[in-house]
Structure 1
């Protein structure tokens, strides 16, 4: 993971212009020497009368203090509070002397567009842009609190809370996105900063804004998402998508949405393009974020790269690919900070690094890293596990212990607060008090840390994937048809009982059962809504549900059977809930129920397990399962890749693979 883009790489023609993708402009200070008009003198007198009674009121405040809702002395070039806290200090650009005569007309037209249900045309997404895809305005230029409060009221509560007699507004759709999707995939700008930039420089967010509206529309049953989907896919038109970090975010969000809409092949191709663009922009180098003058946007770039990494890992794991692209791509990107710091704009001046994380076991003073970091590390471990699952049985059994040790180390070195998925709901964006708590928080309030939820679910799913092939829990023939949890290659299917070692088989079976129980128990967390979790966890719950069905059919009895049967109900219930939003949830629920009907009718001993070791529930019998062709079950869009050639290949290897081995975009569908 560490390293640089070396390996003898020489800059290619035109790469010296890569600085055009960064925004180097600094915020301007508010002028204090401009002459006052008679009106301003009058207002100043009134202000002085007010402050004489209530103290000095400072109208100018730096953005970090404003976002944290704390007093700011407004000192230049940095306020005393930011200096004391060792935080970056910056101000919104002054509006004086910068008013465009046509700005009122532009804002009026923007309001009109936002209040109407959009009608989409592919040409709408080929607007005039400069070479970088966004203007040189600073992110906070012309920003006010109105940018955050403007528009319709926020939608809260259930996904149907945006129901209205009229069409949904843009603001309602974006609110749905932030309420239900963002917490599990927090790499785009936080809500306040997103609306601030949208007010100041909407052109840079044109494509991203469209995809966010599409995702938001999926969470409301009263909104037809078809037109928003058309607009989102129109953003993939190559000439209209500028080479910027926002375009990478656009592609990444689109890939996740398409995947969860049961379009795995299309999603994989879009994600490949996002990876290609990110490496082309050098987002896998820490300098991409460090050269960004705004710390919140710099953190967003770091999170975007790691969001690509975790999504690439998840896609590969679901389709049982032998590896994923970014696993073998050199990276020096710093680690993300905690979500509460990102939301508040309180970005650490010196982010943690992977080398520091990898030596955390040697530190005298333990460091608590962000939830995002622990998810990233688990995805790295998953990359190692993918290689193990592609080995022959004899070699795999030797590697299982090593992979189990990696998973055990991850779990053992988790800080106590990260071993729990629930966090205080008031911790996001609040200032810690001297006692380590948060101002204004009330005891008993808790919400799910969505990143740690994903991490813990992935941990147990990795255990299931690793141990079930060596356990007493056979696979059903119908599992071959599940898109979310396909069975392993035929050479890893469980052996007949007579050929298994009792001791090791017992360990693998116990580990699989415990992990299955743990994954499905996550659904019962207080305050947990299946629709608020990452839609990628649909496949996690499917994997656990199918393992639970096998346990009920062939292994458990009595109270243990009843407990696991309840977990099957939980898994199917979770799939039903997310199926109201995501198409892959509906399909997976249907497939899982078909398998369950066969599994729960099986009586152990009726299918000759003692002789074969293969499951017979779900129809088809042993012979059908033996004759299943598992070739081509790897991830769509990356078949034929020389994964060994990716080892230590860095930038050049990635580009060569994209160009010559079909990790491409146009070969899978159209001209994305």
Structure 2
């Protein structure tokens, strides 16, 4: 059978809901009457004028959608048995569509201006042939008038899928049958079209159906609950900075198995994740209280294992960044005690409690070493504790690279700290992970903290510690020097290793430098003020201090959101700010004052950004701003005295005034955007 293209209905043609379907849809009885009328002809072979034109039987829409044979009754047998609504529409098979340039012939009909179904163009009653464009309209269920053919309207409302044809741009799309029924495929049975669709039309309909299905699926997805959002935010924003908890897919698998009590760990994860959720509100405090209760309440029956250490460590980090440092130190003491009781610091622990899972074994190794590093950073930046774990004997294997941990491709056998220390002398070229260099940086910090207090320049202890720091830097492999991994992504473990080393350099050399620290005595958000007497010239210790502070400021420019860094970066930036402000207050005119101004601006901006999550950053930001304003007012007061400008050229005077005005303008514009950090 030859196939004929079918026209798209005009957007102006409408269907009246009050007309009967018998006007256009032929039942078997009407078909028989038409057959008898076909035989009623005149003797000369002409057709009798009273006989109606031949009609074309059609299947109801329900049978057509299912590609089943329809008996043509109204309602048909299948719809009667299934209690479905039986609706017929006229077939348009064989219609070739309007010709081009129809406007040249006013007697031709247009799809957009069909004559009334009651009269023909000549005024007589038209042939009731559904192949004509102006055939009698179809009776539909009680619906509103429709401007274009819409397959969705013929389906029951409880099963009707969303229709893409409500878009005006798709109103004139040529559609011959319901594209949503059984994948939109047509067959040769009753109610189907035996001719094949054009390939382009077929692909367009498939793409359209896929798009509508995707939108419908996304619309039906429930909104994640707050605990689920906090869980996701933990892995999205926090996990890379302290990657000791199992990767997300591994933890979800363990939760699904239900063989391990993880309530305390999950509560701690939700607490950390809530810090990054703006509308967490009172739930944040609830998650914290629940985590602490599950860790210590005997009624909770939380086993004393590695998961308990992980939960406590997360709570400690969160409290320390939320200006609850005293409570964090108390929990740190408990966490370290439990870790030593369960022998987390020993080599066999990972194998004995890893359940034959290399990823879980790696998680236990990372838990010990992250506890070790956090203990060192808390002791270093706050200068209250003494880095207890530095003196604890540990033979835990070193962690692997982050991508290996996340993918589950754990290298065997693991390497140990002895391998790291002897790599230069053993002659073995073995690559070590970024986590291993982070551990080495924390060890250098511990060695510095065990050094006796330096009271004079040239102390040999200072030279020994500086040798450790310099050796760490100069022996870095090429791929570990710039905080970038092989995929050109920021390496958070090396990022932390570098800023630990820079902070250690400042703490080592600042007491011996010529920078007077008294102007920054109000900056105490991270550590108590340390008095440093001023001198008459810059010495080598001043150079070490200033250089390290500048390097910390440059780290802010790394192409990664600041909130993805560990909160300990807040205290390191604050330490750098103290050095910058001391230098700015020490000299009235600096050749590099513009560079110094930009570094201070970087630090203040970073603290302002970090304050969106960490309350400690908000406190530090306010203190740094206050000190900057004091220095600014002191310099302005001295500039009133004419003797101040003796020896300055006019250009230097203007530059100094503009620099002071510029930095204060920058502070005010940035700090006006700082919002109150979450409690």
Pick the TM interval, shorter chain. 0.5 to 0.7
Q: Cα distance, 1:273 vs. partner?
A: 0.8
Superposed, which structure 2 residues align to 1:426-441 within 5 Å? none
Q: Is the 8 A contact 1:173 1:216 kept in 2?
A: yes
Q: Cα distance, 1:520 vs. partner?
A: 0.6
- Which residue of the partner structure matches residue 306 of structure 1? 369
- Which residue of the partner structure matches residue 518 of structure 1? 551
Cα shift readout 1:115-166 (whole Å, capped 9, x = no counterpart): xxxxxxxxxxxxxxxxxxxxxxxxxxxxxxxxxxxxxx9xxxxxxxxxx997
- Which residue of the partner structure matches residue 490 of structure 2? 448
Unpaired stretches in structure 2, ≥5 consecutive residues: 1-213, 215-220, 640-679
Cα shift readout 1:621-654 (whole Å, capped 9, x = no counterpart): xxxxxxxxxxxxxxxxxxxxxxxxxxxxxxxxxx
Q: Cα distance, 1:238 vs. partner?
A: 4.0
Give the distance between the partners of 1:197 and 1:223, measured in 2 at CA. Answer: 26
Q: Does 1:173 align with 2:230?
A: yes
What is the SS of the residue equivalent to 2:580?
helix
What is the SS of the residue equivalent to 1:204?
coil
- Which residue of the partner structure matches residue 65 of structure 1? none
**Is the alpha carbon distance of 1:544 and 1:417 closer, same or farther for their aligned partners in structure 2, counting shifts above 3 Å?**
same
- Which residue of the partner structure matches residue 594 of structure 1? 626
Give the distance between the partners of 2:459 and 2:638, measured in 1 at CA. Answer: 29
- Which residue of the partner structure matches residue 399 of structure 2? 336
Q: Cα distance, 1:506 vs. partner?
A: 1.6
Give the distance between the partners of 1:557 and 1:477, measured in 2 at CA. Answer: 17
Q: Is the 8 A contact 2:523 2:620 kept in 1?
A: no
Superposed, which structure 2 residues align to 1:91-170 within 5 Å? 168-170=225-227
Q: Is the 8 A contact 2:479 2:486 kept in 1?
A: no
Q: Cα distance, 1:577 vs. partner?
A: 0.7
Question: Which of structures 1 and 2 has the larger relative contact order (alpha carbons within 8 angstroms, sep 6+)?
Answer: 1
Give the distance between the partners of 1:245 and 1:202, measured in 2 at CA. Answer: 15
Query: 575, 595, 601: which one pairs with 1:543?
Result: 575
Give the distance between the partners of 1:606 and 1:452, measured in 2 at CA. Answer: 44
Q: Cα distance, 1:202 vs. partner?
A: 6.6
Superposed, which structure 2 residues align to 1:161-560 within 5 Å? 168-201=225-258, 203-224=260-281, 225-239=284-298, 240=300, 241-291=302-352, 292=354, 293-321=356-384, 323-388=386-451, 391-394=453-456, 397-425=459-487, 446-476=488-518, 478-479=520-521, 482-488=524-530, 490=531, 493-494=532-533, 496-497=535-536, 506-526=539-559, 528-555=560-587, 557-560=589-592
Q: Is the 8 A contact 1:321 1:386 kept in 2?
A: no
**Is the alpha carbon distance of 1:485 and 1:471 closer, same or farther for their aligned partners in structure 2, counting shifts above 3 Å?**
same
Q: Is the 8 A contact 1:302 1:336 kept in 2?
A: yes
**Is the alpha carbon distance of 1:515 and 1:392 closer, same or farther for their aligned partners in structure 2, counting shifts above 3 Å?**
closer
Q: Is the 8 A contact 1:322 1:387 kept in 2?
A: no
- Which residue of the partner structure matches residue 635 of structure 1? none
Q: Is the 8 A contact 2:515 2:534 kept in 1?
A: no
Q: Cα distance, 1:478 vs. partner?
A: 5.0
Q: Is the 8 A contact 1:554 1:603 kept in 2?
A: no
Q: Is the 8 A contact 1:320 1:386 kept in 2?
A: no
Q: Is the 8 A contact 1:205 1:246 kept in 2?
A: yes
What is the SS of the residue equivalent to 2:514?
coil
Unpaired stretches in structure 1, ≥5 consecutive residues: 1-152, 154-163, 426-445, 608-672
- Which runs of structure 1 show a deviation greater than 4 angstroms over 4 or more consecutive aligned residues? 164-167, 604-607
What is the SS of the residue equivalent to 2:489?
strand
What is the SS of the residue equivalent to 2:262?
helix
Q: Is the 8 A contact 1:361 1:413 kept in 2?
A: no
Corresponding residue pairs, total: 414
Q: Cα distance, 1:548 vs. partner?
A: 0.8
**Is the alpha carbon distance of 1:483 and 1:235 closer, same or farther for their aligned partners in structure 2, counting shifts above 3 Å?**
farther
What do you get for the CA RMSD once the two structures are aligned?
2.4
Give the distance between the partners of 1:515 and 1:217, measured in 2 at CA. Answer: 34
Give the distance between the partners of 2:527 and 2:592, measured in 1 at CA. Answer: 24
Q: Is the 8 A contact 1:168 1:223 kept in 2?
A: no
What is the SS of the residue equivalent to 1:423?
coil
Q: What TM-score does the superposition give when structure 2 sets the normalisation length?
A: 0.58
Q: What TM-score does the superposition give when structure 1 sets the normalisation length?
A: 0.59
What is the SS of the residue equivalent to 1:591?
helix
Q: Cα distance, 1:235 vs. partner?
A: 2.4
Q: Cα distance, 1:344 vs. partner?
A: 0.7
Q: Is the 8 A contact 1:485 1:543 kept in 2?
A: no
Give the distance between the partners of 1:166 and 1:495, measured in 2 at CA. Answer: 60
The higher radius of gyration belongs to 2
**Is the alpha carbon distance of 1:477 and 1:235 closer, same or farther for their aligned partners in structure 2, counting shifts above 3 Å?**
farther
Q: Cα distance, 1:557 vs. partner?
A: 3.8
Give the distance between the partners of 1:472 and 1:599, measured in 2 at CA. Answer: 18
Q: Cα distance, 1:597 vs. partner?
A: 1.2
Give the distance between the partners of 1:297 and 1:524, measured in 2 at CA. Answer: 35
